[in-house]
Amino acid sequence: MKNVAIAGATGAVGIEFLKLMESRNFPVKKLKLLASKRSVGKELEFCGEKLIVEELTEKSFQGVDLAFFSAGKGRSKEFVQKAVDSGSLVIDNSSAFRMDPNVPLVVPEINKEMVFKHNGIIANPNCSTIQMVVALNPLHKAATIRRVVVSTYQATSGAGSKGMQELIDQTKAWVKNEPMEVKSFPAQIAFNLFPHVDIFLENGYTREEMKMVNETKKIMNSPDMKISATCVRVPILRAHSEAVWIETEDKLTAENAREILRESPGIVVKDDPVDRGYPMPWEADKTIDTFVGRIREDISHPKGLTFWVVADQLYKGAALNSLQIAEVLVSG
């Protein structure tokens, strides 16, 4: 790619784009950093060069070949089509276009061929969906998954840098025995958790939970797969964890599953519970892989399997997956 833009460059995901593009030597001739008016003039460093943040406007994408969007659903709806009309290919991190039948929803380990079937927009899935489907897909290929039940334990990074800072600020307030201020979440997050990520819908599920249901079916091209999710916010800075239960058409033993997952791209199997050999958020922080452990046959169902999945929400759950999509395009 010659000219690249990042919309939402000063946000939590935007900052990770810069780090990953530099560490992975993503080919860029000119990089443009875009954000809201309040961030204009800020300096961010990329490959030893200080770049000035510009305001995101309708005219920002003239001469831009590739635009990464991490600016929120509203901003994506407002500006993505403007970028496409200017000749840019957009990889969008928001939920604005994920379920559009004309927009590919891509996790490269699963459906990278869809990268080349775009009309100017490629959607990046929800963070909790990405790490789950990376683990589900190889097992689905081996034994056909009929049903999925998942409970997520989602870090404050899912609410951006403000959410992460709120956990830090509330923790400091608790230490000092001072009142805790709640801004980014529906309740205190320090020393607490709540089963409430995004808004509640008429069916009793949250929008986050339904994202996991609908996006998984689209990515894995499995419209008849039965999926139920409960999404929980936990007092962790970054890296989401998930407890996943699956029912398969063909019997999969725990050892079969371990072998399959060990040979699958993007996955690290860490499964020795006796010596605390299971994935934890602190060790997944700033890593690029999806970690799977606690793999065991479900004692309540003859064709059930359960396991634990952990991945960095800002990396594989957001910036890294988008960048991997772009790398497929470049190598394509």
SS3 per-residue string spanning 116-167: HCCCCEEECCCHHHHHHHHHHHHHHHHHCEEEEEEEEEECHHHHHHHHHHHH
* pLDDT confidence tier of residue 2, bands split at 50, 70 and 90: confident
DSSP-derived 3-state class of residue 48: coil
* pLDDT confidence tier of residue 192, bands split at 50, 70 and 90: very high
Contact 331, 137 (CB under 8 A): no
Which residues, other chains included, contact 237 with Cβ-Cβ below 8 Å and sequence gap of 6+? 155, 156, 157, 164, 167, 168, 285
Contact 118, 89 (CB under 8 A): yes
Which of 214, 193, 217, 303 is CA-nearest to residue 257? Answer: 303
* pLDDT confidence tier of residue 1, bands split at 50, 70 and 90: low
Residue 294 has pLDDT above 70, yes or no: yes
Which residue in this structure is represented by tokens 């990278």? 112
Centroid of chain to Cα 210: 15
Q: Where are the alpha helices (DSSP H) in 59-107?
A: 73-85
Q: Name the token pair of 51.
A: 């770049």
DSSP-derived 3-state class of residue 27: coil
* Percent above pLDDT 70 for the chain: 100
Q: Name the token pair of 102.
A: 């004309």
Which pLDDT does position 123 carry in this prediction?
98
Mean pLDDT of 217-239: 98
* Percent above pLDDT 90 for the chain: 97
Contact 51, 43 (CB under 8 A): yes
DSSP-derived 3-state class of residue 3: strand
Q: Name the token pair of 29.
A: 């001739």
Catalytic residue check, 47: no
Residue 274 has pLDDT above 90, yes or no: no
- Of the ranges 113-122, 225-234, 274-283, 304-313, which one carries the lowest mean pLDDT score? 274-283
d(CA 8, CA 51): 14
Contact 6, 68 (CB under 8 A): yes
Mean pLDDT of 185-191: 97
Q: What is this structure's pTM? A: 0.96
Domains of the chain and any CATH numbers: 3-125+318-331 (3.40.50.720), 129-313 (3.30.360.10)
Which pLDDT does position 273 carry in this prediction?
84
Torsion of CA 103, 18, 34, 328, to 10 degrees: -20
Q: Which of 118, 196, 240, 301 is catalytic?
A: 240
Catalytic residue check, 140: no
Which pLDDT does position 152 carry in this prediction?
98
For 23-68, the pLDDT digits (tens) are 999 999 999 999 999 999 999 999 999 999 999 999 999 999 999 9
Which pLDDT does position 103 carry in this prediction?
98
Which of 249, 242, 243 is CA-nearest to residue 224? Answer: 249
Q: Which of 118, 127, 140, 231 is catalytic?
A: 127
Contact 205, 195 (CB under 8 A): no
Give the DSSP per-residue string, 279-331: --HHHHTT--SEEEEEEEE-TT-TTEEEEEEEE-TTIIIIIHHHHHHHHHHHH
Which residues, other chains included, contact 36 with Cβ-Cβ below 8 Å and sequence gap of 6+? 55, 56, 71
User: How far apart are the two ends of the chain, measured CA to CA in Å?
Assistant: 12
d(CA 73, CA 90): 14
Residue type for 87, please?
Answer: G
